Amino acid sequence: MKKVLFLFLGILASCGIPYDGETIVTLEASIKNASGEPLPFQIATVSGSADFDYSDFGIYRNESNALGILKFELFSPKNRAYLQFENSNNFLPLSIAFDKSSFEMFHLNLGVITLFQPNEIESFNITLNPASGTSNLISIDVQAIKYESYVNLTDEMNNANPELNLSYTLKKNQNFNLNYQTQNNFTGAISSFSIPLTMENSALEYTITY
C-alpha cells in the first residue's frame, strides 16, 4: 500500500508545473574558449527538472551574442533547473544546476564560462601523505582554470559538507596555485600553504605531506 501511495505521489510530483509564472529571473554568463576569447553563437538550453516531455526541452534555448554574452530571461524554476550547452565544435559537455536560491535580486551572473575541447585539458591529481600524525588536512583549493562537466549551484550544494577533492581537470599550459590548510590535532592551530605549480601538456601529480 505504501509503495502504491509513494508511486501516486511521485506521479503527482512529476505532473507539477515546473516554472513560477509570477517570478521572472535573469541568467547571464560570458562564454569564452580556453584562450580566453569570447565564443559567439554557442547554443545553450535551460530546462526544469519537471518538464513534461523531452520534446519541450527547447522552451528556453538561446545563443551567445557576438561578444560571447549569453542571457536568459526566464520564469523562475520551481525546483532544480539545468543550464546545458549543445554539443558543437567538439566542446566538452557542461551542465550547471541552479534553483531559486541561486538568484540574488532576480539575477544570477555566472561570470566566465570556459568551454574546452578535449585536447585542451589534462588531469591533476593530489596524493595525501599524513607523515607527521599530528595534523589533519582541512581544506584544499586549486586556483586554476578548471573544467567541470557538472556544477551545482543549488541550495543543497551550499549546505553540503565540502569533501576534499583530490582529482581535477585543468587547462593545459597554465600556472596555478594549490592552496591548502592543515590543523594541528593538539593545539588546534591552522597553517596555510600556497604552492605554485605549472600544468604543462601532460597529467600532473602532487603529494601533500603533512
* Contact flag: residue 41 with other proteins (CB under 8 A): no
DSSP letter assigned to residue 132: S
Q: Which is nearer to other proteins, 55 or 167 (CB)?
A: 55
Nearest approach in angstroms of CB 63 to other proteins is 9
DSSP letter assigned to residue 65: -
Q: Which is nearer to other proteins, 109 or 177 (CB)?
A: 109
Annotate 171-196 with DSSP letters as a single string: ESSEEEEEEEEEEETTT--EEEEEEE
C-alpha grid cell for residue 193? 600553504
Q: Which is nearer to other proteins, 6 or 52 (CB)?
A: 52
Q: Which is nearer to other proteins, 24 or 160 (CB)?
A: 24
Question: What does the alpha-carbon distance between residue 178 and residue 166 come to, in Å, rounded to a whole number?
Answer: 11
* Contact flag: residue 197 with other proteins (CB under 8 A): no
* Contact flag: residue 52 with other proteins (CB under 8 A): yes
Binding other proteins by CB under 8 A: which of 53, 133, 186, 202?
53
DSSP letter assigned to residue 102: G
Nearest approach in angstroms of CB 81 to other proteins is 12
Residue type, 149: S
Site for other proteins in 83-122 (CB under 8 A): 105-107
DSSP letter assigned to residue 93: P
